[in-house]
């Protein structure tokens, strides 16, 4: 049992123009929305959730039926929703603690870079499998590791160690070992 919201009902008349609730009937290519079939609106900066057709929204309108969507009040469909600011503005969150929980997965995608900084303290990671490339320290734990490249160069300033129950070194032409002293056996 939910709250029934009627189209174009004034929520509060404390402004020169009142706020209304309405249904998004269309979304334009530029991101603007049409409410109740005839009111052209844009998202207000405070409206983080991107409205889709069928959503009930809170909006303000002027004399020319142009308006601003203040908030998405209700959605008909349970679907993936987008949080964004107009003109692709950046979002910054400042707080003492921030927790993000997802029952399935969390994805971070960026075209250029993703930074994760821990100035003081520790960085904890707990996963069944992980892939890491870290400048300064590289730790790999894997059941199988396959590297294929045209040229592969290992250089260590002090010690390069390889240990296994069995090792195989093959080459189609030459194997060269060069050192002041070579101990075998």
Residue with tokens 């207000």: 44
C-alpha R_g of the chain? 29
Q: Quote the pLDDT of residue 134.
A: 67
Categorize the per-residue pLDDT at 11 as very low, low, confident or very high, splitting at 50, 70 and 90: low
| pLDDT tens sequence across 35-72 | 999 989 999 988 989 999 999 999 998 888 789 999 99
- Tokens 């490249």 identify what position? 149
pLDDT at 133: 67
Question: What's the predicted TM-score (pTM) here?
Answer: 0.55
Average of per-residue pLDDT across 148-171: 90
Q: Which two tokens stand for residue 98?
A: 């921030």
pLDDT digits (tens, 9 = 90+) for 73-107: 998 877 888 888 877 788 888 999 999 999 999 88
Question: Is the Cα torsion angle 20, 21, 24, 30 positive or negative in sign?
Answer: positive
Q: Which pLDDT belongs to residue 1? A: 46
- Please state which CATH number belongs to domain 9-77: 2.40.50.140
* Token pair 């995608």: residue: 109
SS3 letters across 143-179: CCCCCCCCCCCCCCCCCCCCCCCCCCCCCCCCCCCCC
Q: Give the model confidence (pLDDT) of 100-121 as tens digits.
A: 999 999 888 889 888 888 888 8
Mean pLDDT in residue range 7-34: 78
40 contacts 60 by C-beta, under 8 angstroms: no
What pLDDT, on a 0 to 100 scale, did the predictor assign at position 145?
86
Tokens for 16?
Answer: 């020169």
Q: Flag whether pLDDT at 140 surpasses 50.
A: yes
Percent of the chain with pLDDT over 70: 89
- In three-state secondary structure terms, 137 is coil
Quick check: 45 and 85 in contact, CB under 8 A?
yes
Separation in Å, CA 73 to CA 2, 24, 47, 86, 104: 12, 11, 10, 19, 25
Separation between Cα atoms, residue 162 and residue 150, nearest integer Å: 21
């Amino acid at each position: 049992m939910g709250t029934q919201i009627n189209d174009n009902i004034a929520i509060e008349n404390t402004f020169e123009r009142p706020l209304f609730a309405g249904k998004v009937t269309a979304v334009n290519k530029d991101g603007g929305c049409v409410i109740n079939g005839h009111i052209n609106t844009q998202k207000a900066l405070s409206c983080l959730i991107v409205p889709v057709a069928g959503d009930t929204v809170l909006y303000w309108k002027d004399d020319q039926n142009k308006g601003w969507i203040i908030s998405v009040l209700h959605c008909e469909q349970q679907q993936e929703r987008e949080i964004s600011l107009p003109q692709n503005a950046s979002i910054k969150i400042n707080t003492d603690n921030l927790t993000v929980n997802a029952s399935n997965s969390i994805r971070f995608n960026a075209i250029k870079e993703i930074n994760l900084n821990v100035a003081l303290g520790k960085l904890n990671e707990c996963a069944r499998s992980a892939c890491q490339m870290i400048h300064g320290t590289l730790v790999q734990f894997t059941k199988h590791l396959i590297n294929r490249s045209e040229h592969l160069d290992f250089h260590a300033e002090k010690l390069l160690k390889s240990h296994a129950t069995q090792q195989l070194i093959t080459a189609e032409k030459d194997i060269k070992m060069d050192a002041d002293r070579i101990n075998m056996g």
